[in-house]
């Protein structure tokens, strides 16, 4: 599990260490870890450290001190080291003295022979885009950048970029991850342990080991009913593909049973003969959770069926057309007693919430989840899953291969199957998003390692492989 901490939480955890350690010791501890990460980057790119040139772009805060100390350590290991001081009168004095004593040079701009740039302009206390002078410094070079703590110009809490900002190949952060490390383009992220005592937070992301622990693996005594029966209400004569994708994803997710109800019954069975399919919700039979909405339609009959589904004492995941209906009838889910998951993309979110998610996607998703009393999964390159109590799971994809038509139908089927197996709504949504993201990456790299366009059918075909790679 990865925890993401606010700037205030990091500062509070640093306070006792700063009080107990000699002056500057914590900064040098962080800078040594930074220098080690940079040295590793230089070796991977250039084969070594000696003879390479690094340039620290230094702001007035502690991050500038971290960057100068790291450049000092690298200089002592044989690298040439320059520093651009954006505010010379406010540069960390001890770090600057050490840098100059080691043979570092203060320069006005990044030299053309620079192998790597260290971004030490602003840290977790900064906000807003890069100022013009700093933006000009970074615009003058094509050398790879390593960011100290966060990429300068990117909001630490929301990951928002509102103007010029650094785009690093690597971000080295200290003590604990911050939301920006999941929400923004930080390159690779390395976390340096500097001895902070940090408790678990309410903003987290799952790792493969967490998904493995959550996944419903059948035991010796299980049968097709005890593993969970997933009901699917999706698709139509106009959009049979949504039903095929959604039902197929539920089939691929576990080895229990899938029941389908809707007008695409014949098409579903032709693709997935193991699905028990009927034409009407009333004839579907017993299930443990319902998936409703993809390709479902938004007419009065569809709305009436959705209302009937929500009245049943079972978990429900609502997606696509069901969200359009709920935008007109939010009271149907507001405070619903049974587990309920809504999975909007940005446009559907705007219809449900009355406003787009905006720059603070975590805050907006939390607010909607609290207002409706349900779990909300906001789709995107970084999926945000919020429970009504304010707890959040983030699922960074790292790419956008899953942004293809019908991909959400597959995700809905996976979530529904996990709900039917008994997972809590946020855990089901977060585990499903993790598996779905991995399946999209596998589909995009099939049959070889090079990435290529994929499709919802390709993602569905990789769901089992994704699960197997985790289990």
- Residues annotated within a binding site for AMP: 379-383, 408
Tokens for 185, please give them. 């383009």
Can you list the pairs that 132-140 forms with residues at least 24 positions away whose Cβ atoms lie under 8 Å? 132/164, 133/86, 134/57, 134/59, 134/86, 134/164, 135/163, 135/164, 137/57, 137/84, 137/86, 137/109, 137/110, 138/57, 138/110, 138/164, 138/166, 139/164, 140/109, 140/110
Q: Where are the alpha helices (DSSP H) in 184-284?
A: 208-214, 240-253, 265-271
346 close to 357: Cβ distance less than 8 angstroms: yes
What Rg, from alpha-carbon coordinates, does the chain have?
Answer: 26
CA-CA-CA-CA torsion sign (25, 26, 28, 29): positive
What are 190's strand-pairing partners?
A: 172
How far is Cα 35 from Cα 466, in angstroms, rounded to an integer? 36
Crossing angle for the helix pair 346-353 and 361-372, to the nearest 10 degrees: 50
Residue among 112, 108, 116, 23 at smallest CA distance from 74: 116
187: left (phi over 0), alpha (psi -120 to 50) or beta: left
Which residue ranges are tagged as binding site? 62-66, 119, 123-129, 149, 152, 242, 295, 345, 379-383, 408-409
How far is Cα 305 from Cα 297, in angstroms, rounded to an integer? 11
Tokens for 3, please give them. 């925890």
How far is Cα 293 from Cα 452, in angstroms, rounded to an integer? 29
Close Cβ partners of 91 (under 8 Å, ≥ 6 residues apart): 58, 60, 64, 68, 85
Which residue ranges are tagged as binding site for K(+)? 63, 119, 152
Q: What is the DSSP string of 57-102?
A: EE-SSHHHHHHHHHHHHHHHTT-EEEEEESSGGGS-HHHHHHHHHT
Which residue ranges are tagged as binding site for (6S)-NADPHX? 62-66, 123-129, 149, 242, 295, 345, 409
Look up residue 89 and give its DSSP letter: G
């Amino acid at each position: 599990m990865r925890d993401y901490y606010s700037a205030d939480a990091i500062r509070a955890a640093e306070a006792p260490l700063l009080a107990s350690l000699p002056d500057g010791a914590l900064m040098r501890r962080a800078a040594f870890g930074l220098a080690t990460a940079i040295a590793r980057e230089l070796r991977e790119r250039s084969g070594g450290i000696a003879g390479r040139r690094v340039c620290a772009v230094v702001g007035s805060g502690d991050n500038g001190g971290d960057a100068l100390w790291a450049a000092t350590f690298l200089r002592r290991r044989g690298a040439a080291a320059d520093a651009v001081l954006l505010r010379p009168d406010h540069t960390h004095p001890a770090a600057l003295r050490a840098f100059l004593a080691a043979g570092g040079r203060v320069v006005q701009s990044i030299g053309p022979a620079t192998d790597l740039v260290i971004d030490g302009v602003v840290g977790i206390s900064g906000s807003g885009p890069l100022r013009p002078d700093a933006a000009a410094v970074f615009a003058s070079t094509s050398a790879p950048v390593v960011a100290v703590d966060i990429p300068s110009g990117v909001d630490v809490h929301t990951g928002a970029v509102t103007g010029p900002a650094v785009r690093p190949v690597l971000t080295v952060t200290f003590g604990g991850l911050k939301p920006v490390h999941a929400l923004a383009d930080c390159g690779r992220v390395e976390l340096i342990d500097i001895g902070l005592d940090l408790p678990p937070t309410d903003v987290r992301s799952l790792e493969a080991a967490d998904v493995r622990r959550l996944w419903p693996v059948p035991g010796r005594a299980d049968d097709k009913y005890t593993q969970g029966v997933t009901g699917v209400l999706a698709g139509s004569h106009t959009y049979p593909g949504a039903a095929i994708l959604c039902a197929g994803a539920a089939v691929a997710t576990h080895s229990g049973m899938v029941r389908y109800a809707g007008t695409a019954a014949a098409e579903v069975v032709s693709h997935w003969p193991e699905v028990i399919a009927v034409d009407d919700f009333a004839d579907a039979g017993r299930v443990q959770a319902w998936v409703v909405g993809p390709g479902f339609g938004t007419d009065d009959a569809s709305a009436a069926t959705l209302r009937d589904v929500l009245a049943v004492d079972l978990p429900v995941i609502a997606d696509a057309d069901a969200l359009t209906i709920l935008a007109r009838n939010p009271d149907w889910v507001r405070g619903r007693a049974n587990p309920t998951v809504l999975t909007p993309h940005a446009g559907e979110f705007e219809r449900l919430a009355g406003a787009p998610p905006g720059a603070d996607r975590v805050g907006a998703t939390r607010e909607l989840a609290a207002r409706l009393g349900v779990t909300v999964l906001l789709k995107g390159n970084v999926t945000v899953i919020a429970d009504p109590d304010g707890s959040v799971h983030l699922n960074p994809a790292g790419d956008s291969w899953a942004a293809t038509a019908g991909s959400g139908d597959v995700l809905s089927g996976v979530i529904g199957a996990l709900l039917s197996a008994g997972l809590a709504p946020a855990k089901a949504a977060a585990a499903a998003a993790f598996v779905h993201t991995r399946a999209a990456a596998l589909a995009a790299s099939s049959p070889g390692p090079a990435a290529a366009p994929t499709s919802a059918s390709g993602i569905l075909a990789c769901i089992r492989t994704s699960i197997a790679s985790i289990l």
